[in-house]
Amino acid sequence: MAARGDSINVMLVDDHEVVLEGLIRILEKQGGIKIVSVARSAEEAMEKIGRFPPDVIIVDIQLPGMNGIELIRRVKSDYPQIEAITLTVFDDEQFAKQAIKAGAIGYVIKDAAKDELVKAVRAAARGESLISTSIARKLIEEISEPAARKRKKDEGFENLSQREVDVIKLMARGYNNRQIADLLFISEHTVKVHIRNIFRKIGVADRTNAVLWAIERDLVLKEKDSIKPDKPPV
């Protein structure tokens, strides 16, 4: 948390150059906010964060490789003093819930007014939360939603095999095909077959949307979870 009177040091994580340039212009025009580093992937962010420690990190959900929600989870685990804001195009309460569970203190929609992001940064530096109005409304609606309707909404991955569930959990945790193959003691070709089947069954065309689908349903490998490989290591 930034001390009163100090500049708020901010890291930006987004893989779109135009977005990064726009965020820098918006935030550095404000008094008391300083961009200390930018990263175009979660992996780059984790490498830089120790060298250029921010007070607040602003993260896009859709990143190449490890997704933004998993990045927030790792940042909050390694650097609990850093506050995280999710900046995303997804006006969806499920993504907001996952981001908040991961440790995000703010959730801002990219097409929101510019001053909303500035307010979110300043609130985060004080240890306070700011969630875009449209998302906050949906979260309230979900809390009051009848239980039977919620159960129906939460269904939808029963048609995946157990191995496909294992694969998509590992994908959502940020592992690549080679790492998944090594963890499950299967070939990389078999991993690719599982992923093609997952895409077909859940109706997506790429890895990013499959990961977002998994995050929405909380199909992310937890620290306490274990996945049984096809055979023990030699």
- State which H helix or E strand residue 180 sits in: helix 177-184
Say whether both 137 and 21 belong to one domain: yes
Say whether both 34 and 127 belong to one domain: yes
User: How many structural domains compose the chain?
Assistant: 2
Say whether both 125 and 33 belong to one domain: yes
Say whether both 128 and 164 belong to one domain: no
Pick from 129-138, 148-157, 216-225: least confident:
148-157
In this prediction the pTM is: 0.65
Q: What is the pLDDT of residues 48-93, one digit of tens each?
A: 999 999 999 999 988 888 899 999 999 999 999 999 999 888 776 7
Evaluate whether residue 82 is within a structural domain. yes
Mean pLDDT of 159-167: 89
Contact between 203 and 212 under an 8 Å Cβ cutoff? The reply is: no
Q: What is the pLDDT of residues 11-34, one digit of tens each?
A: 999 999 999 999 999 998 888 999
Evaluate whether residue 41 is within a structural domain. yes
Say whether both 116 and 161 belong to one domain: no
Mean pLDDT of 178-183: 90
Mean pLDDT of 117-141: 81
Say whether both 17 and 121 belong to one domain: yes
Alpha carbons 48 and 133: distance in angstroms, whole number: 32
Instruction: Give the structural domain span for 172.
Output: 156-216
Evaluate whether residue 230 is within a structural domain. no
* Averaged pLDDT of the chain: 83
Roughly how many angstroms between the first and final C-alpha of the chain, as a whole number?
A: 48
* pLDDT at res. 196: 92
Evaluate whether residue 224 is within a structural domain. no
Beta-carbon contacts of 217 under 8 Å, excluding residues fewer than 6 positions away, are 94, 154, 156, 157
SS3 234: coil
* pLDDT at res. 98: 84
What would the 3-class secondary structure string for 84-149 be? Answer: EEEEECCCCHHHHHHHHHHCCCEEEECCCCHHHHHHHHHHHHCCCCEECHHHHHHHHHHHCCCHHH
